[in-house]
Structure 1
Amino acid sequence: MAFERVGVVGLGTMGAGIAEVFARAGLRVIGVEADAEALARGRGHLERSTGRAVDRGRLGEAEREEILRRVTLTTSRDDLSEADLVVEAIPEILDAKVSLFEDLDRICKPQAVLATNTSSLSVTAVAAATGRPGRVVGMHFFNPAPVMRLVEVVGTVVTEPGVLDEIAGLARRLGKTPVAVGDRAGFVVNRLLLPYLNHAAMLLENGVAARDDIEAAMTLGAGLPMGPFALLDLIGLDTAYEVMCVLFDETRDRRHAPAPLLRELVTAGLLGRKSGRGFHGEPPVRRESERAAVITYRVEGEGAGAVAERLAQAGFKTSDDPDVVLRLADRPVVEHAVRLPRPDVMVGVHLVGERVAEVAATALTSPGAVAAARDLMKVIGRTPVPCRDRAGFVVDALLYPYLNDAVRMVEAGYASIGEVDAAMRLGCGYPAGPIETLEMIGLDRVRDGLRALYTEYREPSYAPAPLLDHLVTAGLTSFPRP
């Protein structure tokens, strides 16, 4: 069907952005809010967003006025009676969404499509509340909607043939990239992103590494646009907590249970940017660390020669009885430390990318050795990330389970390799999708890293996905594509 008149119910930041996207594409939009005060806030969102676009040279003033004229604002849902499509963008409360869709089903013409912008709730449950379950879909935009290019188009087991294609076509008309998926909690992006963020909170809570060190590891080391805690603050800790609860309710996977630290911050009202404080908001606690005045060293492990050469060029000297032994590894190094006459001088060093060095202290490592290793990494131009001597340290511990989840998603046929990669690039601004990232790192290396994580934590979801294991066993270095 041709979508020319579209309704948007809920004009918060997200809903107003969706209304703007439709109006920019030339559609007539009916924006609905609960009362006059909320309607005025919605109008303000629209005016500010389009005004910023004018200021940045992305819209002309005349074009902006035309966009605003296409949007009719009202407090009456009955004004949606002739809409071809209605998109719901109210808060993530299932009972509220079900009640709204029951009302929309009564008001809207029989051929109209009803869409929910939910990020994680069951589209099937919403559809079942109507007399037209085959014409109820998920249409999940990303914030800010006028900028983000991804739209997850979600179908259910009762969606009528052709409806998803029509909605995907509309998304393309809006200048978006649609990814069509089934009705699973979190869809693609949140199902991959939120467990990673939750895992970062667990590493912080368990003292594996400090907040700012984890942030540096994932931005400077893994190349992500934001660290996990900055992203949690941007999303809203309450929103992240709710999504994790939905994921856990569906999967019963322990990794999807919200981290206690996340629950504690939400209960305290520390919700991130929206409240002014979350994981960030106060200056970090400055840790007084011992400085190494004179450092002698020895480097062991794969790649030791290059590191030793750079340190020698900087004037540092090797010794048979060094202040610090740098063990280059991507696995815990305590088993190597216990073989030394002085196990307290060994520090694990994992070089990540071109800018980061994870500095892993064992249970035996002295503070002086940690300080020496940290300072030596700075000498060779690396940002040191102090952490405990645990499988995966920081980057691999966070990155590899995320990649494994993506493989499982592809293996199950829930989404294709191209869809999963596009979803994470466009929905999160990642430089590469998870399958692309996995192939760049190396399938065998990720498989072996997951095995190490599983050996240490005995977490079933850390076991390599069978597809990944089979590809490595077959000697392949990339995923087969049609």
Structure 2
Amino acid sequence: MDRPQSSQDPQSPLVIAVIGLGTMGTGIADVMACAGHEVIGVDISEAAARQAVETLEASTARAVRHERITGQERTAALARFRTFPDLQAAAEADLVIEVVTEHFETKCEVLTALDGIVKPGAIIATGTNALSVTQLASRTSRPDRVLGLHFFAPAQKMKLVEVVSTVLTSPEATASVTTLVRALGKEPVPVGDRPGFIADGLLFGYLNQAAAMYEARYATREDIDAAMRLGCGLPMGPLALLDLIGIDTAQTVLEAMYEASRDRLHAPSPVLKQLSAAGLLGRKTGRGFYTYEASGSATVVPDADTPQDGGAGAQGRPVSRVGVAGSGTMATGIAEVFAKAGYEVVLAARGQDKADKAAAQLAKSLDRSVAKGRLTQEQRDAALARVTAAGSLDAFAEVDLAVEAVAEDLAVKQQLFATLDKVCKPGAVLATTTSSLPVIAIATSTSRPQDVIGMHFFNPAPAMKLVEVVRTVLTADDVHATVREVCGKVKKHAVDCGDRAGFIVNALLFPYLNNAVKMVQEHYATVEDIDAAMKLGGGYPMGPFELLDVVGLDVSLAIEQVLHKEFRDPGLAPSPLLEHLVSAGCLGRKTGRGFREYARR
């Protein structure tokens, strides 16, 4: 395959054999055929081969309808794709890509057979994302011509391809495949041989923790998935994604990761093993964490675990006047949310001066909404008229709901709630926006802990749809009902969770971020490659290091320390690299330097 390439000339057509015509194999064949390469599809199943041809016909027809290719190009692509039942068909291939079942002995059998069939200069690639490429390569007589080529599903759309070199792979083989991937319009990311590589190495640990969270009945599957979609901007929630990937596949990947890392965070959650043993493998079997319309369907149907709307639960307390304590971005954002929803709002700060400045910031935010066409001038004026700036918490005497949004410091919050306890009328609901502190420790600083609840908004509050509603062991049912009703009225999606560190989002997000830092610390991959892998392969809106620099490395470290202290799991211990950067004052964008450097404003 090592053909000389001109820097101006496109990749010359190759003969590429794809072994295994499941979803991934068919997708890879589609990409290669449409790029001008001759594609030999091999599968022992006639039905799989027939389905691959039908899938390619349908996908290219869609491409013509959407004017991505012409009818003539479609005809040519289909003519370049042929299917065979026997590996001998790969004899003249320049590159062979196996994507058979993720089972070591099965892959070894296929690679060993190919080794005796394909021509000497051919490169053999494995599509594994969990097994050792080195061990697979060593079963052949040409380990220098064997590497990993990990596409992401759907292969036609996803831009990332991880190119996996082992200590035995020749640089020429890696360079040839990298050139090919780039010519396909994909982003090749070089990685070493360890289970999960970059994207799945980070993704599956996160998915495993989500499964464990669900298994512990800490939150419903719907709330876990909604929290990660709305709180982090992810395209899918973790449990829905596990169903898409396949529960058995996830278990295989995690077993391989645990074998290599011995990190308890990678030990497959028992619920994954139970679902696999029961044959409940996700969408492909029609049932996994969710129940689907049919095997292979993406349509979720109600089952015994589906939450029921309405019901005879507690009635919420009436709320017409809301107090927001604080003068920072979060406080003004929350006050804006309530004012736009029609509530009378008291925005209180330490001193009238600070309160007036906070109200001015709120007005500027409303002005920006008008400029962007999100609000009319009349709506802006009406919302602002509902806001009263106050220099003391005494102004909360008549509020029905008091929301605290001050510094993330337990002593500060406890002192504030002790004051709220004195100034707020009986029956007022007292809510804290803490993201990491125990709500019960805040609640017990009052004489009415039954009235205290967590109401964790996400920043920026006017834009982010999620609110984590955090009940303590003492929170009254009607207080919980009140906050749920209020969330609905301000058009936020409320998810319920118990009072433990990180709630849902941070408990799943920050271990993932910490594991990304560990990858860099161990020199496995660069900051740039990890960010690219998670954006292009995982569909994340930001890479982990972009996000860490935005959140602030000091804030991130503090949350990770809280998680480690709460769960006492060695795998949750903050990365020393993160600790060193914080000690050096490299806190991210706010200081001009974190994992990257930024221009000073």
Q: Answer yes or no: is the 8 Å Cα contact 1:299–1:328 preserved in 2.
A: no
Corresponding residue for residue 8 of structure 1: 18
- 1:470 partner SS: helix
List per-residue Cα deviations over 1:182-241 (Å, max 9, x = no partner). 000001111111111111111112222222112221111211111112211211222112
1:324 matches 2:346: no
**In structure 2, do the counterparts of structure 1 residues 212 and 35 end up closer, same or farther at CA, with 3 Å as the change threshold?**
closer
Matches within 5 A, 1:149-228: 149-228=159-238
TM-fit CA distance, 1:142: 1.0
Does structure 1 conserve the Cα–Cα contact (< 8 Å) formed by 2:126 and 2:149?
yes
Q: Which of 441, 460, 464 does residue 335 from structure 1 map onto?
A: 441
Matched residue, 1:285:
307
In 1, the alpha carbon distance for the partners of 2:315 and 2:287 equals 32
User: What is the distance in 2 between the residues matched to 1:86 and 1:309?
Assistant: 58
Quick one: distance in 1 between partners of 2:488 and 2:264? 38
Q: Aligned partner of 2:486: which letter?
A: L
Retained in 1: the 8 A contact 2:322–2:344? Answer: no
Q: Distance in 1 between matches of 2:169 and 2:507?
A: 39
What RMSD in Å do the two structures reach over aligned CA positions? Answer: 2.1
Task: Report which stretch shifted further, 185-194 or 248-257.
Answer: 248-257
Match of 1:439 in 2: 549
- 1:5-33: CA deviation from partner (whole Å, max 9, x where unpaired): 11111111211111121111111121111
Matches of residues 95-106 of structure 1 in structure 2 within 5 Å?
95-106=105-116
Q: By how many angstroms is 1:307 displaced?
A: 4.1
- How far apart are residue 58 of structure 1 and its match? 2.4
Residue in 1 that maps onto 2:496:
386
Given that 1:156 and 1:183 are in contact with CA atoms closer than 8 Å, whether structure 2 keeps it comes out as yes
Checking the alignment, whether the CA contact within 8 Å between 1:7 and 1:30 is kept in structure 2 is yes
**Aligned counterpart, 2:280:** 270
Q: 1:481 to 1:187 in 2, by over 3 A?
A: farther
1:118-169 deviation line (CA, Å, top 9, x unaligned): 1211101110100011110000111111111111000111111222122111
CA 409–309 in structure 1, closer or farther in 2 if over 3 Å, else same:
closer
1:306 is displaced (CA, Å) by 6.0
From the superposition, tell whether residues 305 and 86 of structure 1 become closer, same or farther in structure 2 (CA, over 3 Å).
Answer: closer
* From 241, 254, 257, the counterpart of 1:247: 257
* Identical positions, percent: 45
Contact 2:322/2:343, CA 8 A, preserved across alignment: no
- Report the alpha carbon displacement of residue 42 of structure 1 after superposing the two structures with TM: 2.7
User: Retained in 2: the 8 A contact 1:299–1:326?
Assistant: no
- Asked whether 1:314 is paired with 2:343, we answer yes
Report if the CA contact (8 A) 2:514-2:575 is conserved: yes
Indicate how the Cα distance of structure 1 residues 268 and 55 shifts in structure 2: closer, same or farther if over 3 A, else same: farther
Letter in 2 for 1:432: M
Q: Secondary structure at the match of 2:517?
A: helix
Q: CA deviation at 1:342?
A: 1.5
Identify if the C-alpha distance between structure 1 residues 69 and 327 changes in structure 2 by more than 3 Å, giving closer, same or farther: same
CA distance in 1, matches of 2:443, 2:428: 14
The one-letter code sitting in structure 2 at the alignment partner of 1:291 is Q
1:144 aligns with 2:154: yes
Q: Are residue 31 (structure 1) and residue 41 (structure 2) matched?
A: yes
Q: Based on CA coordinates, which of the two structures has the bigger radius of gyration?
A: 2
What is the deviation of 1:179? Answer: 0.4
Residue 82 of structure 1 corresponds to which residue in structure 2?
92
Offset from partner CA, 1:323-353 (integer Å, 9 cap, x none): 4210121122111112211211110121113
- 1:351–1:357 contact (8 Å) kept in structure 2: yes
Between the aligned partners of 2:457 and 2:188, the Cα distance in structure 1 is 37
| Whole-Å separation in 2 of the counterparts to 1:128 and 1:259 | 31
Which whole-Å CA distance do the structure 2 matches of 1:442 and 1:297 have between them?
30
Aligned to 2:566: 456
Distance 1:479 1:309, change over 3 A: closer
Q: 1:300·1:326 contact (CA, 8 Å) conserved in 2? A: no
d(CA) in 1 for partners of 2:338 and 2:120? Answer: 74
The total of aligned residue pairs comes to 482
Which residue type is aligned with residue 273 of structure 1? R
CA contact (8 A) 1:360 1:386 kept: yes
When residues 43 and 363 of structure 1 are mapped into structure 2, their CA distance, relative to the original with a 3 A threshold, is same
Q: Which residue of 2 aligns with 1:373?
A: 483
Q: What is the SS of the residue equivalent to 2:283?
A: coil
Report the counterpart of residue 344 of structure 1 in structure 2: 450
Question: Within 1, Cα distance between the matches of 2:72 and 2:126?
Answer: 32
Q: Are the aligned partners of 1:80 and 1:108 in contact in 2 as well (CA < 8 Å)?
A: yes
After TM superposition, the structure 1 stretch with the greater mean CA deviation from structure 2, 43-52 or 324-333, is 43-52
Deviates more, 1:243-252 or 1:420-429: 243-252
State how far apart, in whole Å, the 1-side matches of 2:176 and 2:66 are: 33
Q: 1:268 Cα deviation (Å)? A: 2.2
DSSP-derived class of the 1:221 partner: helix
Quickly say closer, same or farther: Cα 1:322–1:157, change in 2 above 3 A. same
1:422-437 maps to which residues of 2 (within 5 A)? Answer: 422-437=532-547
TM-score normalised to the size of structure 1? 0.95
Segment of structure 1 superposing worse, 68-77 or 317-326: 317-326
Residue 275 to residue 55, structure 1, CA distance change in 2 (3 Å): farther
Return 5+ residue gaps in structure 2 as ranges.
4-12, 292-300, 346-397, 400-423, 589-593
Instruction: Pick the aligned partner of 2:595 from 462, 479, 482.
Output: 479
Q: TM-score, normalised by structure 2?
A: 0.77
| CA contact 2:163–2:189 (8 Å) conserved in 1 | yes
